[in-house]
Chains A and B, each alone.
Chain A
């Protein structure tokens, strides 16, 4: 599982640079590769640029007056830079956003059927198999679902779009750890069953690296660390800064922590 497939990556982001409103540089030269069939995790603290990277890939940024100023995003031979969001998702790059991930005024069924074409009917049944809880609630208005059910519905909606690459942003946001783990496990099952490639962004580093095969660590708009998931899990700095099981006991160690962190970023 920890090996990178030798073939060409499905998605490669090269030296991406993103500038907000002509003033603030949010991403400065991020390069990421996602091998087909793998789960890749992008981790980092708030404001590291993970979400911005995902939104750049899925073409959301121009609508928010945010410009991709440099670099390239190549998916299966197509350059995604400058494409419109619906064109990108029709190519098979489908995003599950961080918030506002479903249509709150539509029912669960209508949400699932949003991008349904006659060809995709079988797909809807398999989605309901993965998330049996949704099957029970099809008549409900989606805005009144619980947080976990909303997340399941959002992933289900994305799956019906026939993704080749699923981008999942902050799956764990606002969810209990037990639900987060449950959904993460379902994602892993889907990855195995369908061979669906995934790029997930997480603050819950341990949970993300447990299902991912490869991880990128972002800080201040740069990739500061990357490697196979189990290497990252075992790495001393990772344990100390992100996994929270380093042995910083005393004040002296905390001082060292801040110094080290500054050195790193």
Chain B
């Protein structure tokens, strides 16, 4: 009997598979092995960068669920992260709560704030929503600034967070953090991939593509918009909370509008509406400043302290470059390459599904 074509799908379960083809499963297997073995071959500095990337991955996935999937443009990501970080700092430092209490509690705090910030989304779309979240950002940061001034040792010094202990094991080394963050990021990744292919994910995409049509086909638009804000803010708070533990100090100055924009840059560069894309974008944007520094260190002339400006400019240029020339992000480049090899030796021209996006 002839073998059925691998492209023939006979059930909905097959269309929804995360990794439909055998070679993809193989690639992912190798990748997972490489990621797990990475600490054996690299120094603390590199692992530190990887840890920053992993935290960014969690935040970027959260933002992509909201902006990439549900189409709600948000500049509030930094404030959600600040909420998570401050909740953790308060719980861990003032009340001595353990790691496994502080983290979920911070996520809940973030979810609550996300819900509240999401309320205006029921009224606005697009840029107006972005402006509202921008104002929300400053309002939240103002509250936290005052709080920090009251609670912290001084107005500008932050709140220190004690290192977390997991099962009697104190988490301080970069390697320990690497595996802890890897587990967290992998859990968030699996959660989001599954969420995106469920009814909820499809409802979000429907709202993004045309909210009126989504409503007409039976999607409860207000509920799913708020759900998107809640889930996104909870993930951002998780990133902020882990970041607070990781850096051991929380200051409000860290959570600027620039940070929110940097997260936006991650999902633009990675690919709007793609979970894997947000991973790529988070790694790209997190490493970009270090790559710029390395690049300029190799050059004969030096920028000195202004290298900071060059790093920032590189992020700005990445945003503009991707929006102009590769609006679907790094994931689209990957898809093109993958398709090329998959179809080789045949040429393959993709049909644009719609011009609306």
Binding site for B on A (CB under 8 A): 21-23, 64-65
Contact = CB atoms under 8 A, between A and B. Distances in A.
Interface residues of B, number: 4
B355 interface: yes
Contacts of A64: 355
9 contacts: A21-B352, A21-B354, A21-B355, A22-B351, A22-B352, A23-B351, A23-B352, A64-B355, A65-B355
Contacts of B354: 21
Interface in B303-356: 351-352, 354-355
A21 B357 CA distance: 12
Nearest to A23: B351
A64 B351 CA distance: 17
Contacts of A65: 355
Given A21-B355, A23-B352, A64-B355, 6 more contacts: A21-B352, A21-B354, A22-B351, A22-B352, A23-B351, A65-B355
Q: Could you tell me the dominant secondary structure of chain B's interface residues?
A: loop
Contacts of A22: 351-352
A23 B356 CA distance: 14
A25 to B, nearest CB: 13
Contacts of B355: 21, 64-65
A19 to B, nearest CB: 11
Nearest to A64: B355
Contacts of B352: 21-23
Nearest to B355: A65
B351 to A, nearest CB: 5
Contacts of A21: 352, 354-355
A26 to B, nearest CB: 14
B78 to A, nearest CB: 35
A23 B351 CA distance: 7
Nearest to B349: A22
A91 B209 CA distance: 39
Q: Which one of B351, B352, B354, B355 has the highest number of Cβ atoms from chain A below 10 Å of its Cβ?
A: B355
Contacts of B351: 22-23
A64 B355 CA distance: 9
A22 B349 CA distance: 11
A90 B202 CA distance: 48
Closest 3 CB pairs of A and B: A65-B355, A21-B355, A22-B352
A78 B322 CA distance: 37
Interface string B211-238: 0000000000000000000000000000
A64 B354 CA distance: 12
A155 to B, nearest CB: 31
B356 to A, nearest CB: 9
A51 to B, nearest CB: 18
B167 to A, nearest CB: 56
B353 to A, nearest CB: 8
Nearest to A20: B355
Contacts of A23: 351-352
B209 to A, nearest CB: 14
A213 to B, nearest CB: 38
Nearest to B352: A22
B181 to A, nearest CB: 43
A35 B355 CA distance: 37
A241 B352 CA distance: 37
A203 to B, nearest CB: 27
Nearest to B350: A22
A67 to B, nearest CB: 11
A137 to B, nearest CB: 36
A23 B353 CA distance: 8
Interface in B75-91: none
A65 to B, nearest CB: 4
Interface string B129-172: 00000000000000000000000000000000000000000000
